[in-house]
Amino acid sequence: MNVTVRVWRQGGAFGEGRLVPYEARDVSPDMSFLEMLDVVNESLVASGQPPIAFDSDCREGICGMCSLVVNGVPHGPDRGSTVCQLHMRRFKDGDTITVEPWRAAAFPVRRDLIVDRGAFDQIIAAGGYVSVGTGSAPDANAIPIPKDVAESAMDSAACIGCGACVAACKNASASLFVGAKVSQLALLPQGHPERVARARALVQAMDDLGFGNCSNEGECEAVCPKEISIANIARMRREYLRALVLGTDR
């Protein structure tokens, strides 16, 4: 199959960018979307042009490195999936496909389709961890955790930090990411003691880094490759309100 890809090309962090059309010829429908871009890049390199820069690592939907907005939707048209798991059979011969980087003030474009998601690391560094000494690994079942609580914590912990939630939000809010991190730790006994201070610190970091407000549209949940629910955002808000009311030393 043949498709046209309109790709955002931007020479560097401060360069002007624009959409440039490329023809991808004789693409197999079984190729992944990233493999199709690899094919385009091979022909670009062969003709002496700089290849399209884009992020990827595992290419099996678990690392959260790939980050493309395909036809206006982060990670493309498939639900609960990363763009590295998107296949060309999802498109028709002759289609024109628009590919853009994540757009957020907190995720500056470095080159072409690559953005700097260091802001997420800064949020985690602000308190997205457990700082109390927990000793060596306890015996299995020594800490009883109800099944449903363990399940919800696991659902929140499924976040791979790809940033699609920010990319999809009309306000570039990081609420789903922060909500998932707050929830994952607050639900379990190891993270419970510091939950109030953590919620405050993470929200503060998110705001300072220039992410927007959450409008409760749920576009984040819809594009999340791990289908993390906006219930996590509600939990983040409850934890934050607890921090506001109780202060942060409890």
Partner 1 sequence: MAPRRQYLFSTVATKVLIAIAGLSLVGFLCVHLAGNLLLYVGAPAFNAYSHVLISNPFIVPLELALLALFVLHVLEAVTMWWTDRAARPIAYQMTRSAGGRSRKSLASTTMIVTGPIVFVFVAVHVATMKYGPWYVADLHGTEARDLHRLVLETLRRPVWLAVYLPCLAAVGLHLWHGVSSAFESLGLHGPRLTPKVLVAGKALAVAIAAGFLSIPIWIFFFGGRS
Kindly list the residues in this chain that would bind partner 1 in the complex (CB under 8 A).
Answer: 8, 19, 69, 71-74, 79, 98, 100, 103-106, 168, 170-173, 175, 203-204, 206-219, 221-223, 227, 230-231, 233-238, 240-241, 244
- To partner 1, the closest distance from the beta carbon of 133 in angstroms equals 30
Q: Which does 95 bind (CB under 5 to 8 A by kind): ligand FES, partner 1, none?
A: none
Q: Which does 138 bind (CB under 5 to 8 A by kind): ligand FES, partner 1, none?
A: none
Q: Which does 105 bind (CB under 5 to 8 A by kind): partner 1, ligand FES, none?
A: partner 1
Report the residue number, 188 or 214, with the smaller CB distance to partner 1: 214
Q: Which does 147 bind (CB under 5 to 8 A by kind): partner 1, ligand FES, none?
A: none
221 to each of 7, 128, 186, 217, how far by Cα in Å? 25, 21, 20, 9
- To partner 1, the closest distance from the beta carbon of 75 in angstroms equals 9
Q: Which has the closest alpha carbon to 236: 174, 146, 143? A: 174
Report the residue number, 19 or 143, with the smaller CB distance to partner 1: 19
CA 176/CA 227 separation, integer angstroms? 11
β-pairing, 73-74 with 96-100?
unpaired
The secondary element (H helix, E strand) that includes residue 27 is: none
Report the residue number, 85 or 229, with the smaller CB distance to ligand FES: 85
Interacting residue ranges for ligand FES, rule: CB under 6 A: 56-59, 61-66, 82, 84
Report the residue number, 8 or 91, with the smaller CB distance to partner 1: 8
- To partner 1, the closest distance from the beta carbon of 217 in angstroms equals 5
73 to each of 92, 162, 196, how far by Cα in Å? 17, 14, 34
Q: Phi and psi for 10 in degrees, rounded to 5?
A: -145, 120
In sequence order, which ranges of 48-194 are alpha helices (DSSP H)?
118-125, 147-157, 164-168, 175-186
CA 23/CA 43 separation, integer angstroms? 10
CA 82/CA 159 separation, integer angstroms? 12
Q: Which does 72 bind (CB under 5 to 8 A by kind): partner 1, ligand FES, none?
A: partner 1
CA 100/CA 72 separation, integer angstroms? 8
Report the residue number, 59 or 242, with the smaller CB distance to partner 1: 242
Q: Which does 42 bind (CB under 5 to 8 A by kind): partner 1, ligand FES, none?
A: none
Report the residue number, 32 or 183, with the smaller CB distance to partner 1: 183
CA 246/CA 250 separation, integer angstroms? 7
